[in-house]
Structure 1
Amino acid sequence: MDSPGMDMSMPMFYVGQHETKRALPVSDQLVHHAQDCGYDMLTAPITTPHFHARVLSLLSSYNQAVSEASLSSSKQPLPLIPALESVDTNLHPSDTISQLVTYTSAWIDLASPDPIIAHLSRQVLHLEIAFAAFCGVVTVVVPGPRLSASADGLSQYARAVKEALAVGSYIQLHIQMPMDGKQAGDEDEDLGHLAKFANAEYTEQQPGARLEAFSAWDAWNTVRSICRYHSRLSIALELPRRLPSLTLQSRWFSEPIRLLNIPATSFLVNAKGSFVLSKPHQIFIYRCMRLKSAPWILLTNVGPLPGVNDPDTIMDYPSGYLSPAAAADAPTPRSSMSPSPTPAEAARLVKSAGKKSSKDDPTPHLSYLRYLGRIQPNKSVIERFGGGFQDYLQSPLQPLTDNLESITYEVFEKDPIKYEWYERAITEALQDWVTEEKSTSSEDGAVVIAVVGAGRGPLVTRALNASEGSGVPVRVYAIEKNPNAYVLLQRHNAQDWNGRVTVVKTDMRAWKGPTLDDGTFGHVDILVSELLGSFADNELSPECLDGVQHVLNPQNGISIPASYTAHLTPISTPRIYTDLLARSHSGDANAFDIPWVVMLQQLDYLSTQPQDPSASQLPSNAKISQAHLEAPLSPDVQTAWEFSHPLPSTVLAQASLRRGGSAVGGGGGFTGGDGANEHNFRFSKTSFKVQDQGVCHGLAGYFETVLYAGSQGAVELSTNPVTMEEKSKDMISWFPIFFPLKNPLQVPPNSELEVSMWRQTDDRKVWYEWLVESFITVGNRRMRLSISDLQSSRSNGCLM
């Protein structure tokens, strides 16, 4: 795990103003005026009503020509729209072009069953994208497909979008989708919408799609899948007045949201007559704003920009400090500290200084959002520690073959929980040792402790602290193979530990034990290690502890940790899949065959545990805490396998006999080698119920460990999201592991995923293999729907 940055700043809210029917052309002056009003950006249509009228005229002329010629439209050449003219657009290259979010025409129908309408719509889209790209536009919003469109219509829409991405090679395309799957019906559409002009012979043949809660997400998933998860394709998500289920919210949260569109109709009016958002809206917005790439916010149809017709008007800038009436339903701010102003706010500070507040706020919706930005909850310990590393893929460490740098050790040592828990475990082990009157491995009765893989020595310090706290004398050995860390350990021993530690430079597996006065080697009473990886055993803790177990007291010896388990769950994570797809296209052929260490953030759990309906209810006057911003649903995380230490001596004896090709060794084994490490082979098959349709992009892996279980109970660590809060809250030493799938699995609602996982070894390296299958039960028959590739990390396995 690389060193994450300690980002203490709070996310900024970048807020734009959007009018679906903007009356004025968006000039540089209008952009500056919007900034004076407190907005960070404006939206602008790419073309004008004149262009709309020209397209409708062309369609009318074409239909008339077909009618007069008494020919089928299929025998008539398709109409072509001439190039844009000056009157067709108000857009032009300018200094403020980067502060505009542009919209393609909402009156086109790319998914139309009528080939004429679909053809004209594609032309309009491509003309607009090409001109926007010429002007230097970066952000373009494309109205989403009509959700009543058939599967054929969706594929047509997706193909047009894929072409548009090629037309504007630097443009970011945002597909506007309703969060709840509800879309305005035909009766609400503009009379000039091209869908109104589709030939009845085509529309009558199209049954249309059945609209459900997941309809919008399903349409988006179809589009992005056809576009192969294009990195410049994302979502402009429209928040309804009433948010859908937590499951659907979680699904959208995992997607690449770049714009949050909040219409005026989504606001509530509190008892004081002020515009506010519900608590579920606030929580969803806060969660999105904590993403590595936080979305921008668009306030839609909240009224025209105030003072547009009066350039001398000086606006009061929305600072986020609301009037008592506006803040009546909002929680008390946690402090008087506010984040740095956005660029638009900063530009307005001087102009607004000293002005008295207006009795009637000219931009109440904007003021409220600025207020939400100012009072958002503090970042958690993990968020601050991992700032900038969310969903960033890192190769797992190979501590046996690589000598770690000091900065890597330093990252782990920042953990506020892990080392304290280790000290507790050692303290309790020492106390139990004395209570149970066990004999020690030293002549003077001191308990012999060996910290194997000592690194820079934090566990050595904790062992000495445990001795002082418990009053039990100890003799401590620090074993480290890294020659650079060995130098630092010697310095610590001289300056910090007062020579109480014996520092030994060697691979722990080669260490023969404490040297006795007669030249022989003694035993160790307590072995302490921190060899665990993100999946518990992926950094070869079993192999390392097997190799050093020969020094452990055979009667009373204790290993800390005593056991550890690997856990997994299927997830949807489009962001990471897009990253891996780009890597594989850039020449990294093994991108999908590496179990990546990653701070998972923007994900959706496909299999969740039943929730208490009342758990999601939040009183209107309740303060939003960090807990509300965590994943709203608890995942179903299942155990893959377990390792325990010390092993029975018979197992190690058998492994020793097999090693070196002896007569009792294997004949090459299933995976090569002599079978000396076969006792560390593992296999698991786990099953997960999938409640709602989704896409499986891979498996999230976690671990739990029992450091020590004694008379006072168990001291445990966990990265499992189900148990981490209880066992080791705020622990930051380990990020989860991610096993990707080369080809995502589409899973329907009420289906089942079966995960097969192998831990393989050939006595020289250890690697994983994984396979995911999808099933559905119809009647009493269980049918397999799909199966992933059998993927293997053998070429990137951890060397022993």
Structure 2
Amino acid sequence: MSISEFNPASDPYESRPTYYIGQHDSNRWDVLTDDQYTQVLSSGFNFVTAPITNQHFYQRVVDLYKSFLQEQEQWLEERGITAGQRANPSMPGPVVPTLTDEDTSMYPSHIIGSLITYSSPWIDLCSPNPHIASISRQVLNLEVAYANFCGARTIVIPGPRQDQDGRGVAMYARAIQEALQQVSRANLIIHLPMYREPGLEEKVETLSHVFNVYTTAEPDSSKDIDIYTSWDSWHTIRTVCEYSSRLFLALRIPRRIPEKALQERWFSEPLHFLTIGQTTFQSNRSGYPSLSKHHQDLINRYMRLKNSPWLILTDVGPSTEELVRLFKQKAIEYPTIKEASKALQKEKRKPNNTGINDHVAYMKHLERQQLPYTAMETPALVSFQDWLQSPLQPLADNLESATYEVFEGDPVKYDQYEAAIAEAMAEWKTLKKPSALGTAENPYNPELIVAVAGAGRGPLVSRVIRAAESTGTSIQLWALEKNQNAFVYLLNKNKREWNSRVTLVKTDMRGWAGPTPKGYDSSANTTCKVDILVTELLGSFGDNELSPECLDGIQSHIARPYGISIPHSYTAHLSPISTPRLFADISSRVVSDPNAFDIPYVVRLFQLDFVAAKAPGHPRFQQAWEFIHPVEVSRSDDFAERFGKAVKYTTPGGGSMYGSGGTNEHNARHCHLTFVCPTRGVIHGLAGYFESVLYKTEVDGSEKEPVEISILPDQIDKKSKDMISWFPIFFPLKKPLYFPQDAELEVSMWRQTDDTKVWYEWMVDVYAWVGPKQRNRVGASEMHSSRKVACLM
């Protein structure tokens, strides 16, 4: 990856998400002919749906069940069995014979891979009648198996039509699990409404309705609708199917867009299609189709996904009858003058006389009206959406040049660092602070000692030099780097760019003896303190790349009490999230890596749902802990004075619960946070973020804002807009954790250490309120620990 791919400032991206628009006719019983298919594509569509079986097969199944009922009645009459004795579980049910060439118009062809095959909407997998449920399951298996044989890659299956019947949804989920086993390569797409808006369901009657199985009345549309029941059904289906990577969702968009919380819930799910029916469109003043602003915003939001959903327009034409008529008109080689005149006048009355379907023309208009990709949506950054990466271990491993190059492609971070360094240097002069080179007679030496620890390839060194030049500050600059390969690069850069102004030291910062300023006797190992120490050791959770431990090893060189550490402090933050995609990804890794669910992953979280609400005293993003530098009293410094410097980071002692000397216990942390969830849902883990104060003013009474960086979703635009150096961290749960409405999630997390490594432990409890002052624990995760993959000190 080049810097230009990653750096949003390097190249303008004016492109927008692309709409792939398909056509579905709910009355279509046969696959389109080549001519009809061409006609649909000519009207602007990119693809079409194709029914797997036809009306002949439907009638054959209906007749089969009718015949079964008649045989059953006859059998019972012959034996004189009364109606109350009819429920014999051993009586054989109807068996659907295999398909014949009369049952389908779908065959293997060169276009089959571009067709979206559609399962029969008249089956009822949820039927309370066991025979109809069995027939429906047999039909589904026959259809998906045949479509898979023909080469279809996508099979849409209409979802359950009711959610309240838990038995029916369970039966449906079981049938989908079985269907997944029938196909080896095809994806199954469950077609569900965003919520149960009246009129949003399939129009075709199911077998249960044909045979009057349902005796209860239809739901009263005047009553309040629980908008989460459809999601409940989906959650049951995908849970039974164990989050299969071949199970996706087609979401019906309603006429009335629901609340934002439900929109975000569906946004986190594996969307493959958004389907928009004819009734969802409104007519504008000219009588042409349009969508409300709320619909436009929802579609534009969903289209920002890396794998953006395709759009299917339902029953907007051309219908099968229209296609037949169009074909016949096309077949008239020489129309009469009267026919030609009528056709011409009809076309003139149409603003859209290009032959493009009016609904497609409108969707293409919306496509052009989308906002262009932002600086945070470069192709490289989009490719990182929801891509799991193991955190770096810069202490244990030496980074490659390409990794450094990616980090250096973020100007925002280094601009903020430079601003912090420049402000620190300017205030040093303003406050007339003593310097490390000062003497008893003249403590205010204008020359400052600055050290960059963990210099990498030198971007911070360059920013220190620029800050010194902009503030007119005289400095002596040291750059420390343990990576011998990067050190070679620094030596070359010092000659080419820095005019040998930088003193380079190849060392682990924790073992550095300190700076020997110009004019001091280097042979006598005479050192002094550091006025400003600059580091970029922060990880996605602030401390996960062992910044506290590294700074413990070098902070003894900071001049007291005036020395400055940049960064000054950093805080870790958490929020519970729903992210089915990441859970499925990690689940697929368990076979090869048993510790997959105990690894905190660095990931650019995107397709997720923040399940917690903003409640008084309980924000959506809550602080877990904080580190401040330099530490005034350090346990590790005490050990260094008593036993020698090397002890504090190489030799575990005895006496603590982890069998260590406790030299790093001051860097252990614990938090217990409460998140409020007003709607029911499921979480798959915890999202971790950090904020850092690089420098805050030391001028008394000053109202100057501190120089900060942040990756918190609600703060990044304010504090470090378009910063790309850090992606969030994700702490997964081994099992999805369901919570009811008005629940509270209690998150516990520990930062643990045994003086040789650092790891995290985390768990989540679910509490539901059962009274004004009483709540019950209704669920909990197990304790997770990253100790087996801990960060080595």
- Structure 1 residues 709 and 313: CA distance shift in structure 2, 3 A: farther
After the TM superposition, which of the residue ranges 555-564 and 15-24 deviates more from structure 2?
15-24
Provide the secondary structure at the position in 2 that maps to 1:739. Answer: strand
Mapped partners of 1:403, 1:644: distance in 2: 27
What does 1:629-708 correspond to in 2, within 5 Å? 636-649=620-633, 651-656=635-640, 657=642, 660=647, 667-708=654-695
Mapped partners of 1:241, 1:755: distance in 2: 38
Deviations 1:133-174 (A, max 9, x none): 110011111110122451111111000000000001211111
Deviations 1:625-681 (A, max 9, x none): xxxxxxxxx97000000000000135443343588599x997431223211100000
Mapped partners of 2:214, 2:197: distance in 1: 24
Which residue does the alignment assign to 1:364?
358
Which residue does the alignment assign to 1:614?
none
8 A Cα contact 1:40 1:99, kept in partner: no
Mapped partners of 1:3, 1:116: distance in 2: 63
Provide the secondary structure at the position in 2 that maps to 1:87. Answer: coil
Highest Rg: 1 or 2?
2
What does 1:566-577 correspond to in 2, within 5 Å? 566-577=572-583
What does 1:462-611 correspond to in 2, within 5 Å? 462-516=463-517, 517-518=520-521, 519=524, 520-584=526-590, 586-609=591-614
Task: From 373, 376, 389, give the equivalent of 2:370.
Answer: 376
After the TM superposition, which of the residue ranges 774-783 and 388-397 deviates more from structure 2?
774-783
Amino acid corresponding to residue 787 of structure 2 in structure 1: R
Amino acid corresponding to residue 376 of structure 1 in structure 2: Q
Provide the secondary structure at the position in 2 that maps to 1:212. Answer: coil
TM-score by length of 2: 0.88
Which residue does the alignment assign to 1:53?
59
Provide the secondary structure at the position in 2 that maps to 1:222. Answer: helix
Mapped partners of 1:84, 1:658: distance in 2: 83
Which residue does the alignment assign to 2:777?
784
After the TM superposition, which of the residue ranges 433-442 and 226-235 deviates more from structure 2?
433-442
Which residue does the alignment assign to 1:615?
none
Which residue does the alignment assign to 1:279?
293
Deviation at 1:689, TM superposition (A): 0.3
Which residue does the alignment assign to 2:262?
248
Amino acid corresponding to residue 494 of structure 2 in structure 1: N
Mapped partners of 1:564, 1:192: distance in 2: 60
Which residue does the alignment assign to 1:181?
196
8 A Cα contact 2:30 2:54, kept in partner: no
Amino acid corresponding to residue 545 of structure 2 in structure 1: E
The answer as to 2:251 corresponding to 1:231 is no
- Structure 1 residues 521 and 432: CA distance shift in structure 2, 3 A: same
8 A Cα contact 2:687 2:729, kept in partner: yes
- Structure 1 residues 200 and 551: CA distance shift in structure 2, 3 A: closer
- Structure 1 residues 609 and 654: CA distance shift in structure 2, 3 A: same
- Structure 1 residues 97 and 537: CA distance shift in structure 2, 3 A: same
After the TM superposition, which of the residue ranges 706-715 and 131-140 deviates more from structure 2?
706-715
8 A Cα contact 1:2 1:408, kept in partner: no
Deviations 1:166-191 (A, max 9, x none): 001211111011012235599x8545
Deviation at 1:284, TM superposition (A): 1.5
Provide the secondary structure at the position in 2 that maps to 1:476. Answer: strand
Task: From 404, 415, 418, give the equivalent of 2:413.
Answer: 418
Amino acid corresponding to residue 713 of structure 1 in structure 2: E
8 A Cα contact 1:563 1:707, kept in partner: yes
Deviations 1:227-254 (A, max 9, x none): 1111111110000111111000000000
Which residue does the alignment assign to 2:441?
none
After the TM superposition, which of the residue ranges 597-606 and 38-47 deviates more from structure 2?
38-47
Which residue does the alignment assign to 2:146?
131
Amino acid corresponding to residue 280 of structure 1 in structure 2: H
Deviation at 1:112, TM superposition (A): 1.0
8 A Cα contact 2:639 2:648, kept in partner: no
Amino acid corresponding to residue 211 of structure 2 in structure 1: F
Where in structure 2 are there 5+ consecutive unaligned residues?
A: 331-349, 439-444
Amino acid corresponding to residue 67 of structure 2 in structure 1: S
Which residue does the alignment assign to 1:10?
16
8 A Cα contact 2:452 2:533, kept in partner: yes
- Structure 1 residues 703 and 313: CA distance shift in structure 2, 3 A: farther
Which residue does the alignment assign to 2:386?
391
Which residue does the alignment assign to 1:161?
176
Provide the secondary structure at the position in 2 that maps to 1:272. Answer: coil
After the TM superposition, which of the residue ranges 102-111 and 666-675 deviates more from structure 2?
666-675
Provide the secondary structure at the position in 1 that maps to 2:244. Answer: coil
Mapped partners of 1:534, 1:135: distance in 2: 47
TM-score by length of 1: 0.87
Mapped partners of 2:151, 2:361: distance in 1: 31
8 A Cα contact 2:49 2:118, kept in partner: yes
Task: From 722, 729, 740, give the equivalent of 1:730.
Answer: 722
Where in structure 1 are there 5+ consecutive unaligned residues?
A: 315-355, 612-633
Mapped partners of 2:677, 2:138: distance in 1: 41
Q: Provide the aligned length of Structure 1 versus Structure 2.
A: 731
Which residue does the alignment assign to 2:341?
none
Which residue does the alignment assign to 2:44?
38
Which residue does the alignment assign to 2:227?
213
Mapped partners of 2:787, 2:717: distance in 1: 34
Deviation at 1:197, TM superposition (A): 2.1
**Aligned-pair identity (%):** 48
Mapped partners of 1:191, 1:401: distance in 2: 64
Mapped partners of 2:96, 2:465: distance in 1: 81
Mapped partners of 1:716, 1:676: distance in 2: 30
- Structure 1 residues 126 and 307: CA distance shift in structure 2, 3 A: closer
Mapped partners of 1:129, 1:658: distance in 2: 72
After the TM superposition, which of the residue ranges 115-124 and 29-38 deviates more from structure 2?
29-38
Mapped partners of 1:200, 1:106: distance in 2: 17
The CA RMSD over aligned residues, in Å, is: 2.7
- Structure 1 residues 542 and 117: CA distance shift in structure 2, 3 A: same
- Structure 1 residues 658 and 112: CA distance shift in structure 2, 3 A: farther
8 A Cα contact 2:652 2:754, kept in partner: no
